[in-house]
Amino acid sequence: MKYSGYAYIYTIGCQMNVYDSEKLALILDSHGYEKTEDMDKADIVVCNTCSIRHKAEEKAFSFLGRFARIKKKKPHLITVMAGCVAQQEGEKAFARVPHLDVVLGTQAFSRFGGIIDAVKSGKQKVVDIEDSSMIYEALPDTSCFDENKSSKFVTIMQGCDNFCTYCVVPYVRGRERSRSPESIVKEITWLAAAGVKEITLLGQNVNSYGQKEDQISFPQLLAEVNEIKGIYRIRFATSHPKDLSNDLIYAIRDLDKVCNHLHLPIQSGSNKILKKMNRGYTREKYMDRILSLKKECPDIALSTDIIVGFPYETREDFNDTMNLLREIQFDSIFAFAYSDRSSAPAAKFPQQIAEAKKRERLNHLLELQEYYTEKKNKEQVGKILDVLVEGKSGKKRDGFDYAANNMEQMKGRTESNKIVHFPSRDTVIGDMIKIKIENAYLHSLWGHPLGV
């Protein structure tokens, strides 16, 4: 195909946005735009935005703000704000970014092609924040734009019905809708044929996959994906603790490709705070799920999300969260200071916590978790683990003389999602190899491939 211009896509936020940006790239491709990593070459710039926290939102505005000057020199440049901030701001985005051409909401992606055509023929300041029930079915199947990737995300559902009081997702991504199993299996089969080895299935609450549509359940979907030839590993995110079923636990235990790792966001260790967050479970119910999981899958790696400094959080509530980390000993955590989102109910709660206090608590929590992350990593030393090769790694470790050995340092991931660095002469992206783990650090493991 002959291209008539270049497209630069900047993605902020979660894995779902990464997947969405690939879809946008495909639409741009079919409209004559070649993807570029060089912003200066761009004829169209798309910023795929995130509004989960204030900082992510500011990042979008500051990125797009840079183009005011560039557009003066390059008037044909089209600038697009896509995704969650676009959905949230609508028309108002033009007040903050006057040179913006398109505001493309989260459910408008299937109409993006038509919008580009309209802008190219002179239409100005287009806003599309309308609903759509067919979100992914109407979009092109993912292609391997990034040929160097052995791992890909596939979104299986959109939106959320849970309305946690801190969260904007139900407002910017709409109500929960699931894709058909056929379209998911078709897309993954296609990806497998293109060389992808690992799939991460994405949804805000994968446990309720297909329930509204009266389709197969999430564990049944996992079983179908497990049958796809060429796929070595299946991951998924995110599970909601209130809906984590025994069937899902059995699926993790029994399906050979489903990784022995679960990301299960707890958000807080205090029952009072969990209630104010509208999470729908208690600390005890969460612990019960973890115990069931560990009974069936004793070596399972666990990760979680935590918010500190939620309104009403006292020192005791925060200590409950610290103690929960001590009790469960997660392999890793994602921790955030609570960020006020005006469309979410918690913004109106009294007793907001001072920013400095939130930062202090966050630092305390992260410091405690570092101990457990390193401990869990050290437990891997001496083990022989299957590692899916992801590519070359930048950091050199352990004083190994790569040049003298005619080797390169590569990196890959274990089933438990830990990064492993290793020396190698002939492994390539997508290989699954056995590595003897020799050293462990806070952020990664180090070892040698067997037989080298």
Residues that bind ligand 5AD (CB under 6 A): 52-53, 166-167, 265, 267, 305, 307, 336, 338-339, 341
Does position 164 bind ligand SF4 by CB under 6 A? yes
162 binds, among ligand 5AD, ligand SF4, none (CB under 5 to 8 A by kind): ligand SF4
**Smallest separation (angstroms) from ligand SF4 to the CB of 215:** 20
**Smallest separation (angstroms) from ligand 5AD to the CB of 11:** 15
**Smallest separation (angstroms) from ligand 5AD to the CB of 9:** 22
Sole binder of ligand SF4 in the list 48, 88, 178, 205 (CB under 6 A): 205
Long-range Cβ contacts of 62-68 (<8 Å, 24+ apart): 63/10, 63/12, 64/97, 64/100, 65/97, 67/99, 68/97, 68/98, 68/99
**Smallest separation (angstroms) from ligand 5AD to the CB of 424:** 34
**Smallest separation (angstroms) from ligand SF4 to the CB of 145:** 27
Which SS3 state, helix, strand or coil, does residue 177 take? strand
Nearest to 222 by CA among 199, 243, 238, 196: 199
Q: Which two tokens stand for residue 190?
A: 């296609």
Cα(98)–Cα(414) distance, rounded to whole angstroms?
A: 47
**How many CB atoms lie under 10 A from the CB of residue 326?**
11
Identify the H or E element spanning 65: helix 54-65
Q: What is the CA radius of gyration of the chain?
A: 23
53 binds, among ligand SF4, ligand 5AD, none (CB under 5 to 8 A by kind): ligand 5AD
Q: Which of residues 224-263 bind ligand SF4 (CB under 6 A)?
A: 240
167 touches 338 (CB < 8 A):
no
Measured from the CB atom, the residue of 288 and 305 that comes closer to ligand SF4 is 305
Sole binder of ligand SF4 in the list 119, 160, 251, 328 (CB under 6 A): 160
240 binds, among ligand 5AD, ligand SF4, none (CB under 5 to 8 A by kind): ligand SF4
Does position 202 bind ligand SF4 by CB under 6 A? no
**How many CB atoms lie under 10 A from the CB of residue 9?**
23
Cα(383)–Cα(141) distance, rounded to whole angstroms?
A: 39
Measured from the CB atom, the residue of 267 and 424 that comes closer to ligand 5AD is 267
Q: What share of the chain is helix, strand, coil (3-state, %, to 5)?
A: 35, 20, 40
Say how many CA atoms lie within 13 Å of 4 toward its Cβ: 8
307 binds, among ligand 5AD, ligand SF4, none (CB under 5 to 8 A by kind): ligand 5AD
Measured from the CB atom, the residue of 205 and 414 that comes closer to ligand SF4 is 205
Strands of the sheet containing 261-263, edge to edge, are 261-263, 301-308, 332-337
**Smallest separation (angstroms) from ligand SF4 to the CB of 221:** 19
233 binds, among ligand 5AD, ligand SF4, none (CB under 5 to 8 A by kind): none
